[in-house]
Amino acid sequence: MLAPAHVHLSGMWVNELMSTMNLTAHPSGWLNGWYNSAVGNAQNSYALAGRFDTAPPGEANSTGITLGWAVAYQNSDRNAHSTAVWSGQFFAGASEWEDVIMTQWVLTTSSTLENNWGAARVGGNKFMRQQSGSEVETQQVLE
How confident is the chain (143 residues) per 10-residue block, as mean pLDDT?
Answer: 66 96 96 93 90 84 90 93 97 87 98 98 96 50 41
Q: What is the largest CA-CA distance in the chain?
A: 57
At position 30, the amino acid (one-letter code) is W
Cα–Cα distance, 26 to 51 (Å, whole number): 9
pTM (predicted TM-score): 0.85
* Long-range CB contacts (within 8 A, 24+) of 31-40: 31/67, 31/69, 35/71, 37/73, 40/80, 40/107
Cα–Cα distance, 27 to 141 (Å, whole number): 34
Domains and CATH numbers, the chain: 5-142 (2.40.128.30)
